[in-house]
């Protein structure tokens, strides 16, 4: 493949720095060349497209090279990548404030040729002009200089906020007796501290402990540590960032950062977001109250107490699933070895979307755990063999994309699960098509002595979710990089990923690959039926938690915020009936407050859309290739080249609604 990717296995800090520095110099020279074109000679290709081409070197460096700030096991390389991520971030801010670029674009925008543009070309020019307006080009030069300094500061704060979370190392020490109920393989994977065991905040340890440890006091201790992640320094950084955002909004004439941030999204106005969250909160409150009553029953049966606090929720839900539905997450995990899950995922996508994934062990990677795959079209999808036999199709020509998987936790690695774009798709100036590259970074359960990585079903859902982003990024067919893949509205971008989660609950899908890692036996029918029956258990509490996160984020960025993020946190806790854990500051480890600032509501907004889109598959069949082809063409391939609401309407052939979302929670639309 014609990728300009680093040799990740041999990368050095000096080479990374040299490449990033050269990318900025290349961009500077290209921008200067565009600026030098006489106004009378300007056209779309030598101005707007040329500026996109000029920026590409920096976009690539920001994607493929500084990505190592999240993943490299080498301290020096990771630190250098982080430094250049910040430098390139500031540089890209500067591009948006460049007077000569603005002059060049405005000269072309005033021509008849600009007025005659259609399709992606017209959309690109409109978006570029909107960016300039939102960067203050209708203000004086002095005001713009102040704005740029504020945007630069946000880049700095965000980098340090993320670094603090990534390097945070905390946990609790427990006796062997405190691990009763957890499998021997889990215990064997814990770090020892003499005769005691250390349970960290990494998901593969935190989640099972919170769901299985009988001691409420120990669960409280571990949750408190998790909600102090990032520490007081991140609280201070966040409060400064919120103040900077508010000042930017004020200078630009918006009443809040929320108003500024929401303007280019599907919601459009803060009032639409507030109404959306208020409506959901009132509907979900009924289900959440019913869930908590069930939690109290389950907790009383297990430990003799009806007093259920937030650190008891996962334990009580786990007991409820075990007793009422015979669902044991750790037993179910025995039927989801990672490789089988990948085979199943790839097989479903082959049959539904007509694409094949081929592992490439020869591709250089940044850590031995990382795996690389090429993506090709299946040109003859007539065969419908299962995941085991690879199906009956044949590969359609050369690979058109690549993706990496980095799935296990390690020190100083990105702590959550996310998909990253390492190289975006686009039509190059020479007429060729730049092939996209993505990466999934996660923290799934690691292989243990004598057994492979066994995924809890919730981890399988996460795998499918993040792969939805990879599909969005690699199946895109847009001409312009500005609209490639996930470069769509922030409150739409999660919809394809959330829709893909539905396949994790389809018996016809799970029966293709869920096999016991030792015996090869399929997932027992009673376990599968129990999983599906238990799907709505705790759905109200889980959704209320998402509403809580979205409301907190929006409160921080709306008029009336007083500057004390912990005080606002307590208020939002009270609004949602979720007790606040004294002495904690969850916001210090809430990484989405950078990148999804005033946008966390988008997870719920897009879930409504994703659930609605899946109704087409539910009606036609989860593995229906005709529906998959329409979805690929109308949504995935278009990236951000059309508005999200338009793509959804065209795929559904009707107006979207929230009926499917409410049904998923166990509620009827009301």
Q: Which residues are catalytic?
A: 466
Q: What is the DSSP letter of 632?
A: I
d(CA 130, CA 127): 5
**CA-CA-CA-CA dihedral for 10, 12, 15, 21, to nearest 10:** 130
The DSSP line for 253-300 is: T-SSHHHHHHTTSSS-SHHHHHHHHHHHHHHHHHHHHHHHHHHHHHHH
Place of tokens 């916001």: 587
Q: What is the DSSP letter of 435?
A: P
What count of other Cβ atoms lies within 10 Å of the Cβ of residue 379? 12
In 3-state terms the chain splits into helix, strand, coil percentages (rounded to 5) of 60, 10, 35
Helices (H), 539-665: 539-556, 565-575, 601-620, 625-631, 644-652, 659-665
d(CA 630, CA 635): 8
Q: Please say whether the beta carbons of 336 and 455 come within 8 A.
A: yes
What count of other Cβ atoms lies within 10 Å of the Cβ of residue 126? 12
Nearest to 466, CA basis, from 376, 405, 550: 405
- 172 is written with which tokens? 């609790």
Q: What is the DSSP letter of 366?
A: S
Helices (H), 514-564: 525-533, 539-556
Q: Please say whether the beta carbons of 230 and 589 come within 8 A.
A: yes
In sequence order, the 6+-apart residues with CB closer than 8 A to the CB of 445 are 204, 333, 453, 454, 455, 456, 459
Place of tokens 């669902």: 327
In angstroms, the Cα distances linking 356 to 379, 381, 405 are 10, 10, 16
In sequence order, the 6+-apart residues with CB closer than 8 A to the CB of 118 are none
Beta strand 418-423 pairing with 171-174: unpaired
CA end-to-end span of the chain: 52
The DSSP line for 303-323 is: HS-----GGGHHHHHHHHHHH
From the DSSP assignment, how many helices (H) and strands (E) are in the chain?
Answer: 27, 10
d(CA 273, CA 53): 36
């Amino acid at each position: 493949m014609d990728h300009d990717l680093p040799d990740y296995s041999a990368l050095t800090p000096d080479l990374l720095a040299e490449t990033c520095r050269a990318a900025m110099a290349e961009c500077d020279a290209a921008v200067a060349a565009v600026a030098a074109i006489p106004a009378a000679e300007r056209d779309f290709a030598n101005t707007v497209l040329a500026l996109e081409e000029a920026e590409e070197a920096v976009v690539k460096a920001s994607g493929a090279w500084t990505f190592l700030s999240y993943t490299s096991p080498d301290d020096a390389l990771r630190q250098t990548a982080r430094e250049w991520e910040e430098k390139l971030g500031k540089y890209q801010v500067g591009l948006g404030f460049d007077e000569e670029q603005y002059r060049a674009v405005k000269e072309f925008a005033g021509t008849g040729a600009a007025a005659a543009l259609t399709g992606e070309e017209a959309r690109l020019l409109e978006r570029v002009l909107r960016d300039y307006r939102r960067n203050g080009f209708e203000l004086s030069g002095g005001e713009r200089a102040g704005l740029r300094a504020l945007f630069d500061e946000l880049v700095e704060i965000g980098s340090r906020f993320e670094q603090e979370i990534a390097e945070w190392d905390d946990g609790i020490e427990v006796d062997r007796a405190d691990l009763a109920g957890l499998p021997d393989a889990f215990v064997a994977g814990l770090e020892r501290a003499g005769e005691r065991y250390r349970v960290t905040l990494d998901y593969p340890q935190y989640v099972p402990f919170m769901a299985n440890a009988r001691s409420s006091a120990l669960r409280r201790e571990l949750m408190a540590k998790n909600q102090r992640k990032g520490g007081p320094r991140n609280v201070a950084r966040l409060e400064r960032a919120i103040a900077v955002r508010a000042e930017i909004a004020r200078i630009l004439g918006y009443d809040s950062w929320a108003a500024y941030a929401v303007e280019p999204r599907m919601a459009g106005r803060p009032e639409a977001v507030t109404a959306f969250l208020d409506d959901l909160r009132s509907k979900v409150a009924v289900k959440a109250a019913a869930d908590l009553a069930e939690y109290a029953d389950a907790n009383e049966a297990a430990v003799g107490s009806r007093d259920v606090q937030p650190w008891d929720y996962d334990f009580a839900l786990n007991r409820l699933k075990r007793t009422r539905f015979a669902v044991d997450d750790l037993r179910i995990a025995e039927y989801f070895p990672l490789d089988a899950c990948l085979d199943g995922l790839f097989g479903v996508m082959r049959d539904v979307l007509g694409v094949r994934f081929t592992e490439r062990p020869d591709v250089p990677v940044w850590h031995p755990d990382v795996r690389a795959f090429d993506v090709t079209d299946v040109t003859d999808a007539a065969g419908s063999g299962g995941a085991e036999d690879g199906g009956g199709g044949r590969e359609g020509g050369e690979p058109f994309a690549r993706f990496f998987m980095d799935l296990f936790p390690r020190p100083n690695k990105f702590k959550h699960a996310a998909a990253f774009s390492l190289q975006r798709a686009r039509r190059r100036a020479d007429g060729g098509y730049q092939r996209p590259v993505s990466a999934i970074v996660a923290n799934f359960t690691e292989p243990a002595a004598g057994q492979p990585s066994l995924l809890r079903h919730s981890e399988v859902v996460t795998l499918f979710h993040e792969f939805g982003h990879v599909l969005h990024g690699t199946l895109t067919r847009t001409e312009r990089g500005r609209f490639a893949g996930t470069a769509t509205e922030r409150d739409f971008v999660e919809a394809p990923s959330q829709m893909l989660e539905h396949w994790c609950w389809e018996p016809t899908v799970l029966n293709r690959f869920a096999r016991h890692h030792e015996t090869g036996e399929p997932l027992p029918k009673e376990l599968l039926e129990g999983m599906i029956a238990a799907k709505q258990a705790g759905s109200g509490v889980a959704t209320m938690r998402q509403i809580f996160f979205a409301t907190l984020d929006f409160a921080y960025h709306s008029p009336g915020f007083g500057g004390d993020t912990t005080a606002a946190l307590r208020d939002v806790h009270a609004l949602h009936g979720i007790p606040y854990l004294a002495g904690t500051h969850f916001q210090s480890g809430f990484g989405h407050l950078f990148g999804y600032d005033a946008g966390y509501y988008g997870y719920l907004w897009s879930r409504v859309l994703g659930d609605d889109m899946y109704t087409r598959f539910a009606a036609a069949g989860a593995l229906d290739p005709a529906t998959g082809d329409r979805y690929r063409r109308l949504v995935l391939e278009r990236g951000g080249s059309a508005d999200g609401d338009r793509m959804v309407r065209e795929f559904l052939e009707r107006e979207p609604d929230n009926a499917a979302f409410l049904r998923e929670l166990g509620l009827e639309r009301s």
